[in-house]
Amino acid sequence: MGETVQVEIERKYDVDGQASLPRLNGVGGVAQVRYRPPMALEAIYFDTAARDLSANNVTLRRRTGGTDAGWHVKIGKGERRLELHSPLGKDDVADVSAGPVTVSVPARILDLVRVHVRGKQLVPIARLNTLRSVVDLLDGQGRRLAEVSDDQVAAMAVGFRTESRVQHWREWEVEVVDAGLVAASAGGTDAFLDAVGQVLQPAGARPSAVGSKVEKVVGKAVDPLDPRAPLAGTGTTEDLDGGAPAVRAVLAATVRTQLKTLKGWDPLVRRDVEDSVHQYRVACRALRSLLQTYAPLLEADATGAVIRDLKKLGKLLSVARDAEVVRDQVQEKVAALPGGPQGAIAEMISGKTVKRLRGVKAERYEAAHAQQVKRMRSSWYFEVLDRLDAFALALPLNPELPEGDTAAAAAMVPLATDQVDAVLALAAAVGSEQDLARRLDLMHEVRKEAKRLRYAVKAVQDATGLDLGAELVARMKTAKKLQEALGDHRDSVMFQEHVLATSKVAARKGEDTFGYGVLFAAEFALQARTEAAAERLVEKLAHGHAGDVEAAANGASEA
């Protein structure tokens, strides 16, 4: 089995040594169970001396034995985590009988966690030996819904740690195998896990107090970039729970949350996971929009440098993303023709036309992605991440702000309102522009400004729950729709440009180009619809914004 990426959905329970696993037939759509022979697993866990992986909710282990031997990188916390698995390679074979300290992390695995460890050395921190008995939970057709693992664990800290006492415990893990089948049989994974848990707990199971086995051995690391962690040099925790949290607390929590999101997409971009390039660029844009909108509250030089870094990061994958968008549109555009994918018009588009349209962009995507991932392995990239971390740790405010920390809503709402004005000013320029090329450029600028407004409000909401006022939140939602309409318009124009360029290549090769003309012409109707929708959304955005938002800011500041 090659490298895989999957979402792991599981619940863990602590149990005493004498507990017996209850029968689970009839629970959550389980029609039958299947017992597997016990298996012996050995896992070695790795981290830096500073516990950077643990601090970022990343687990790295090398496992032997069982059905999934290999390297495992788990990202996230809670019941749902992303798991990247890579089988053991020829160079990964190691004699661990002499101690796990002799095992090293291969380059292909190190690449997945480099965003967190950077130049630091990964060392073994724990060794776990597990005797595992698995019960498969099957539906009426014998398909696996989930599995319950009964684990007897012997574990010890190793490496740079001085304590080496062996710990013993037992636990049960319920892991969903097929989320689609579980959704059909039990109404969703949460409902299924709840139903199984209601049977396990009377049998002696207790919800696990820790998120992973290794955490039970070496503990959970402190994350200096936690949204509520102290700011560098202050030693104090910022208060987000008061009625009027301070601007520094809100901005620090929001910047840190967005930075974590950005870094979380890094390993997925490297493995070319679907939609990862797009989401990485969204995270860059969201963080940059946040800093640009609220720049007057922050120290100018430090903030300007970070904004420039984020702009470069966003551009890092722009070529790959543009190619990805057009590549993925081809089949959708054919299917959207009048009559559908099997209709008479769609039949005018030959398979050769579709193949050429997709192939050109697929090749461009692969080349651009490989080039940019290479750039993500450079010293420049990690220096940028270091600067972003340092900025988020300190969150330097504008020294000219009034003495004491200003209430966040009173300071931030007017700046977000200014961003509404920026969108409307550019939209007015679009309406008066006669030159088509310039008009398209201006529409793209409106879209970018609408995105900035959306992210500047939503990022704060998501990270802190700060009330920025109902009117501003409503305008943020309108800005999102405006961004989407203009995005569809721009994607359509890009698709037309690709169709035209590719048709010329096909013509030189003597191929039939009629289908290209059909696809090109079909875009004009979409462009007319999206442009009309954008005009309506601009009107909605403009409606009564000044007085209402000012009142919202005043009300929030008095809360």
More confident residue, 189 or 246: 189
pLDDT interval class at 14 (50, 70, 90): very high
Q: Which residues contact 374 (CB under 8 A, 6 or more apart)?
A: none
More confident residue, 405 or 429: 429
Strands (E), 264-403: none
Count of Cβ atoms closer than 10 Å to residue 40 Cβ: 11
Contact between 468 and 556 under an 8 Å Cβ cutoff? The reply is yes
pLDDT interval class at 431 (50, 70, 90): confident
The CATH classification number of 4-218 equals: 2.40.320.10
Using alpha carbons, select from 261, 222, 252, 285 the residue that is nearest to residue 390. Answer: 252
Give the least confident one: 88-102, 152-166, 428-442: 88-102
The CATH classification number of 247-397+408-557 equals: 1.40.20.10
Question: Mean of the pLDDT values across residues 213-223?
Answer: 91
| Per-residue pLDDT at 318 exceeds 50 | yes
SS3 state at 12:
strand
d(CA 369, CA 275): 13
Q: Count Cβ neighbours within 10 Å for each residue of 189-213 and write b for 16 or more, e otherwise.
A: beebbebbbebbeeebbeebeebbb
How high is the pLDDT of residue 553?
37
How high is the pLDDT of residue 342?
86
d(CA 60, CA 84): 10
Contact between 556 and 410 under an 8 Å Cβ cutoff? The reply is yes
d(CA 325, CA 335): 16
d(CA 388, CA 261): 13
**Selection from 98-112, 163-177, 359-373, 401-415 with the highest mean pLDDT:** 359-373
Q: What residue ranges of the chain are covered by domains with CATH 2.40.320.10?
A: 4-218
Contact between 520 and 499 under an 8 Å Cβ cutoff? The reply is yes
Element (H, E) at 130: strand 123-138
How high is the pLDDT of residue 549?
40
Biggest CA–CA distance in the chain, Å, is 81
Q: End-to-end CA distance of the chain, in Å?
A: 58
| Per-residue pLDDT at 101 exceeds 70 | no
> What's the token pair of residue 492?
């359509």
How high is the pLDDT of residue 391?
97
pLDDT digits (tens, 9 = 90+) for 264-283: 999 999 999 999 999 999 99
d(CA 105, CA 85): 14
d(CA 514, CA 180): 42
- Cα distances from 483 to residues 211, 313, 450, in angstroms, run 39, 21, 6
> What's the token pair of residue 514?
């009629």
Q: What residue ranges of the chain are covered by domains with CATH 1.40.20.10?
A: 247-397+408-557
> What's the token pair of residue 340?
């559908």
d(CA 73, CA 82): 8
User: How many residues are present in the chain?
Assistant: 559
**Alpha-carbon torsion (396, 402, 405, 406), positive or negative:** negative
Q: Count Cβ neighbours within 10 Å for each residue of 235-246 and write b for 16 or more, e otherwise.
A: eeebebeeebbb
d(CA 370, CA 386): 23
Question: Mean of the pLDDT values across residues 173-197?
Answer: 95
How high is the pLDDT of residue 551?
42
How crowded is the C-beta side of 337, counted as CA atoms within 13 Å? 22
How high is the pLDDT of residue 163?
56
Give the least confident one: 148-152, 229-233, 393-397, 509-513: 229-233
Across the chain, what does the average pLDDT equal?
90
